[in-house]
Amino acid sequence: MTATHCPYCALQCGMRLDLAAAAPAAPGPAAGPTAVLASARTLPVTVSGRAFPTNRGGLCQKGWTSASVLVAPDRLTTPLVRGADGALHPAGWTETLDHLAERLRAIRNEHGADAVAVFGGGGLTNEKAYQLGKFARLALGTANIDYNGRFCMSSAAAAANRSLGLDRGLPFPVTDLDGAQAVLLVGSNPAETMPPFVAHLAGARARGGLVVVDPRRSATAELAADGAGVHLQPTAGTDLALLLGLAHVVVAEGLSDDDYLAARTSGLERMRGFLAAWWPERTEQVTGVPAAEIRRVARLLADASPARRGGGAYILTGRGLEQSRQGTDGATAAINLALLLGLVGRVGSGYGTLTGQGNGQGGREHGQKADQLPGYRSITDPTARTHVAGVWGVDPASIPGPGKPAVELLDSLGRADGPRALLVHGSNILVSAPDARAVRDRLAALDLLVVSDVVLSETAASADVVLPVLQWAEEEGTMTSLEGRVLRRRRALDGPAGARSELWVMAELARRLEAPGTWSTDPAVVFDELARASAGGRADYAGLSHARLDAHEAATDGADDAGLFWPVPSPEHPGTPRVFLDGFPTADGRARLVSVDHRGPVDVLDADHPVHLVTGRVLQQYQSGAQTRRVPELAAAAPEAYVEIHPLLADLYGVDEGDTVRLTSRRGTALAQARLTRSARPDTVFMPFHWPGAGSVNRLTTSATDPVSGMPEFKVATVRIEVVGPAELDAERALADAHTARELAGGAA
């Protein structure tokens, strides 16, 4: 038996993998711990939930079926190199890495070190994320490294850093939510994205205090409405305005915690002026949410706050608020509301954001962001550079400065002054990046595209070199949950004979490129180096090691204090489950009330694009779908793209249930099957983003970004709707298939 954690979201549910019980799977539904997998393949392990604070033995459908990913039919088992005929061909590791080193060296010599770029992922272990940042800066000498967490957590991180002095998704254990009287959830649908999390909302729901803000009547919004809570359904892209309206009521009606504000915050007087303009009736005009509901929710939160001796209130945000050109300001507005109510840094109340990717928290702490060094240090801070350089054994001047954030980096690929080569680790950018057709063109303009993956994802299929790497159950390492809880990922079985650890790949390339420093392939040794590099930083792991984490888990055995919460500055330190209790890590020790205002989405409604589009996830799929689309049960439950349309809107455009419709934005088109539902607003359609090709909704999304965080505006666009007839549908699909065939055959130019 191997105790480990789920390979999917940042809830990092505890699970058990058992080799001895593995048996041929037979057809059947995947409904729980005794589910039989719908596959004729023999699975290498069986999966069961185990006692752990976040999931308490439960798993979602993705977790129960996660063993199927280990035997994906197109699992990569040998390097692939694109030949003169345009096709990918198997090759040996030695010749492939020799070829890669030669190509990388030639590109650097001709165009400079920044002509090679690296794109990482929020699913990489802490060890791989750390080593990738070190590899980019020392072995390649490039400033150009960023990762797909820029698409996920960057706005919330930027807001927390400037307001609170520290970014930790949930600055408290998730179990603290169990006792809440009220929870305001803005822009998140955990009932589908991380189902075991919903159990922690049960107390607030039972008390009538669950409030969900979402343009859709999502599964989570249904829980609120059915539990005598509140579903606020604003116009797409107006969440920030709604938060300003709630804050206005808190100040105007004297509901704020004035003693807390005086003792622990700064910036209140300036904020009063900004909030004065957002009285409920004006907020209603912008958001469509009735003024009476705005007042009701503000009072509900205030009644639950510590100032009124309530049972505790929490404000939680998600990507619906943050994936916006005003995402940092949106998250800031949520923090402001929490500060006005005196929630932050109090036991039993708080503010937090729901990190999405499995290691979204740890992945952004240790150096794969364009502007960061390990420990959540700024790459422009001379003291930080000196410290990290000392750990790496190099001159601080040899560490490059900040690079381009993800969207800017992708747009620069193959251009005259941009990178000529890209190395991708743990990301499927052809599906997950905004304005996906433009990204496809940029990848095609590269001289060299290298993808490390476990399956032939859409991005891997277009690469010049594909490197087969290990996945979750085949490797040792650590992950950091959405609560800042550092956890051990453990190896349960060997990977395919031809697959290699990314730590090994980086070490071998570093040796060929004559990189300075040491390059271990042992995850425990790499983690020890990470701990030293993070010492004294915001995300301080100095007191952690694989051995300490193993011993702590054995001692706690699934109790609420399982895992250790950073910061852990020394081996004797017990960890920090709740930050901010004794102050804020800002210059004056106070949280900052940062005045923000609403601007709205970059896409506006017009005669050609008269309908709002919002995007999101569904229960059975995850991120770009590279893993989940290969699991038979999940693929059967959610096989293709669809679009939710309100019956009134469908009637206006002559759309019937099951019709194929074309959505057209200012950037491109996508095809999807219509689902008529009253969960959508009559002026808004919803489409999930897990599918490639003609059903890729990211063909429609804009690459406009938040000026502070670099976050693209995934969540809101404007489109027109047209029913597609059978002949036209065949032609459109043939065109999409032709594009895919060219990508598979041609790779980068």
Burial label, 489 (beta-carbon count in 10 A; 0-12, 13-18, 19+): buried
Architecture of domain 158-358+588-592: 3-Layer(aba) Sandwich (3.40)
Q: How far apart are CA 672 and CA 641, in angstroms?
A: 5
Q: What is the pLDDT of residues 97-117, one digit of tens each?
A: 999 999 999 999 999 999 999
In CATH terms, 80-152+359-565 corresponds, of 1.10.760.10, 3.40.47.10, 3.40.250.10, 3.40.50.740, to 3.40.50.740
β-pairing verdict for 485-489 and 477-480: antiparallel
Q: What is the pLDDT of residue 121?
A: 94
Domain extent listing, the chain: 80-152+359-565, 158-358+588-592, 611-746
What backbone phi and psi angles, to 5 degrees, belong to 64?
-60, -35
Q: What is the pLDDT of residue 36?
A: 32
Does an H or E element contain 315, and which? Answer: strand 313-317
Q: What is the pLDDT of residue 432?
A: 92
Q: Which residue has the tokens 């502070």?
A: 708
Q: How far apart are CA 510 and CA 135, in angstroms?
A: 7
Cβ atoms of 526 and 532 closer than 8 Å: no
DSSP 171: S
Does an H or E element contain 574, and which? Answer: none
Q: Where are the alpha helices (DSSP H) in 112-171?
A: 126-134, 154-164
Query: Of 521, 422, 435, which is closest to residue 470 (Cα–Cα)?
Result: 521
Copy the structure tokens of residue 499. 């697959």
Q: What is the pLDDT of residue 735?
A: 67
Q: What is the pLDDT of residue 737?
A: 62
State which fold the 611-746 domain adopts: Barwin-like endoglucanases (2.40.40)
| pTM score | 0.94
Q: How far apart are CA 72 and CA 455, in angstroms?
A: 8
* Region for 348 from its dihedrals, namely left if φ exceeds 0, alpha if ψ lies in -120 to 50, beta otherwise: left
Between CA 379 and CA 384, with CA 381 as vertex, the angle to 5 degrees is 80
Q: What is the pLDDT of residue 21?
A: 55
Task: Going from the first residue of the chain to its last (749 residues), give the mean pLDDT of each consecutive group of 10, the final group possibly shorter.
Answer: 94 91 41 35 90 94 94 95 96 98 98 97 96 98 95 92 96 97 96 95 96 95 90 97 98 98 97 95 98 98 96 95 94 98 97 91 92 96 98 98 96 96 96 92 97 96 98 97 96 95 98 97 98 97 97 84 92 97 96 96 96 94 89 93 97 97 96 95 94 93 93 94 84 64 48
